[in-house]
Amino acid sequence: MATIFIDDLAIEVIRKRIKHIYISVRPPAGCVRMTVPARLNEETIIGFARSKLDWIRKQQAKLRARPVQPAFAFINGESHFFFGQPYLLNVIETGGRPRVALSAAGVMDLYVRPGSTREERQKVLHAWYRRQLKAAIPVYLDKWEKEIGVSVREWNVRQMKTKWGSCNIQARRLWFSLELAKKSRRCLEYVIVHEMLHLLERYHNARFYGYLTKYLPDWKEIRKELNG
């Protein structure tokens, strides 16, 4: 990976065995990345980047305009999401097992030890999120392995700062972001399908997006929801 500078803009450049240039503005900070053909000369890369400056600035402005996710204190009255639905947090101190329970009235009861810290409460909720994802993901994997005709050897859930998922093609291993527990189920399914399609096509090229359109025709709408 190399970095080029266009005026005051830093752009990461990754060379791969592809035919076309791809450029992305990545949340949350608006970092710019270009993926380019392995043998493409620097003059062409810089020229392409300059031609996209207005678009880049607009995308960065959109990211800056997004509301900042508040730092949760895990106290009564906070709004926490689960599979796309907001729940009002109700913290209950108990001598029993820490756990999470949802009510039909839109309340998320968080049972914690008396005197628990913010970090301990977060740990309880995140452990619950992880269990919910691990229960939901296999259903989609089984469905789409049959639809797409690929097999996943291994998968897991972990904290991911800048990605919703990743795919190790050689190991046939998928990773999914813990944050997906807060998104709708169709967003979760989209990420699963996206990562599974990398078992057919490594790169984000026309072939990859052709597969994505074939299996999820409304993927652009879902992606917008996911990143909104």
Contact indicator for 92, 110 with CB cutoff of 8 Å: yes
pLDDT by residue, tens only, the chain of 228 residues: 688 988 888 899 999 989 899 999 987 778 899 999 999 999 999 999 999 999 999 988 888 777 666 689 999 999 999 999 999 999 999 999 999 999 988 999 999 999 999 999 999 999 999 999 999 999 999 999 999 999 999 999 999 877 899 999 999 999 999 999 999 999 999 999 999 999 999 888 899 999 999 999 999 999 989 987
Contact indicator for 141, 135 with CB cutoff of 8 Å: no
Number of domains in the chain: 2
| 133: three-class secondary structure by DSSP | helix
Write down the residue that tokens 């756990």 correspond to: 99
Q: Is residue 157 part of a domain?
A: yes
Domain, as residue range, for 6: 2-65
Write down the residue that tokens 């917008």 correspond to: 224
The contacts of residue 67 (CB under 8 Å, 6+ apart) are: none
Q: Quote the CA–CA distance of 175 and 180 in Å, as a whole number.
A: 11
Determine phi and psi for 99, rounding to 5 degrees.
-165, 175
Given 65, 91, 113, the domain boundary residue is 65
72 token code pair = 């949760």
CA torsion sign for 79, 81, 87, 90 is negative
Q: Is residue 187 part of a domain?
A: yes
Write down the residue that tokens 């005197």 correspond to: 115
Q: How many CB atoms sit inside 10 A of residue 61's CB?
A: 11
Q: Is residue 137 part of a domain?
A: yes
Q: Is residue 98 part of a domain?
A: no
Q: Is residue 122 part of a domain?
A: no
Given 29, 48, 65, the domain boundary residue is 65
In this structure, are 139 and 214 located in the same domain? yes
Given 65, 87, 115, the domain boundary residue is 65
In this structure, are 219 and 138 located in the same domain? yes
Q: Is residue 182 part of a domain?
A: yes
CATH of the domain at 205: 3.30.2010.10
